[in-house]
Amino acid sequence: MEPNAIADDLVLRRDVGPVALLTLNRPKALNALNQPLLARLAERLREIASDADVRVVVLTGAGEKAFVAGADIAEMADYDPATAQFFALAGQTVLNHIGSLGKPVIAAVNGFALGGGCEVVLACDFAIASQKAKFGLPEVTLGVIPGFGGTQRLARLIGRHNALRWILTGDVHSADEALRLGLVTQVVAPEELLNTALEIAQRIATRGPVALTAARQVVDQGWDVPLADGLRKEAAAFGRLFHSADQKEGMAAFLQKRQAKFIGK
Ligand code: CAA
């Protein structure tokens, strides 16, 4: 455990240079997302959003077994419809914040990523999985449907038929299957997972921060609009970057054959 972490903190934070490693920390319940954990994650994201020293985030789960085994079933079991809807909206809001953070977020999936856990993966920029990771949206086995964005983001990512096969069967899938369908970009040995994710994060952290934010925004804004609209957004963002000090520095550094020193402005 990191020296200044509080063991019962539901979301641990450890900074490795410009990379913040967030660990969802409820291992006895396989890191299931209850309201306190979601609130703490929201707090951590707010903290990181306003911390200029953090350029990239890696998100993982505590313990050997799980990334996140879903929303907390014990907490949800007696919800009335209005509370359940509110819970889904609250979870969606937190996961949307991952996307609007303005800094890349990489999921390092160390074990079960089921239900809400799979939805966290879907909300990240991309994901790297351990060979032990398992993915799925098993909500129909509980008589419900995914509520933290799974019905929307999975279909957009892996296509309608594959998404419906996952959602309607509720089956659990291997890391290799997730790789084949594009849900994760890489599968590594369990002991290599964190180092691999942190190494990629460190590399991203050397790139121009303003450009990283713009790239993420434009990809997302173009996700479900006609190509011509997406291309216009790309050109507009490309143009705006020429206001930035980072663009001046990045291009000057190339021409002067030196390493760029970005300031994120
Ligand atoms: N919510 C609450 N507690 C959970 C949980 C969850 N989603 N998943 C696991 N736990 C708890 C178990 O109840 C158990 O607690 P106790 O030790 O107090 O009994 C502990 O974590 C360990 O779990 P298991 O003993 O079940 O471990 P296992 O190795 O036998 O099985 C598993 C692992 C296959 C992941 C199994 O725990 C499981 O199926 N979990 C539920 C997965 C699921 O259905 N997720 C979807 C939730 S609904 C959702 O997420 C809705 C949404 O989209 C918002």
pLDDT tens for the chain, residues 1 to 265: 444 445 689 999 999 999 999 999 999 999 999 999 999 999 999 999 999 999 999 999 999 999 999 999 999 999 999 999 999 999 999 999 999 999 999 999 999 999 999 999 999 999 999 999 999 999 999 999 999 999 999 999 999 999 999 999 999 999 999 999 999 999 999 999 999 999 999 999 999 999 999 999 999 999 889 999 999 999 999 999 999 999 999 999 999 999 999 999 9
Q: Which of 10, 26, 73, 122 to mutate to test the pocket of ligand 1 (most atoms within 8 A of CB)?
A: 73
Residues 153 and 122 sit within 8 Å (Cβ to Cβ): yes
Pocket lining: 114 vs ligand 1, CB cutoff 6 Å? yes
- Parse the chain into domains and list their residue ranges: 11-205, 209-255
The domain 209-255 belongs to what CATH superfamily?
A: Lyase 2-enoyl-coa Hydratase, Chain  A, domain 2 (1.10.12.10)
Pocket residue to mutate for ligand 1, from 30, 86, 120, most atoms within 8 A of Cβ: 30
pTM (predicted TM-score): 0.96
Fold for the domain defined by 11-205: 2-enoyl-CoA Hydratase; Chain A, domain 1 (3.90.226)
Direct distance between the N- and C-terminal alpha carbons of the chain, in angstroms, rounded to an integer: 34
Is 175:127 a contact under the CB 8 Å cutoff? no
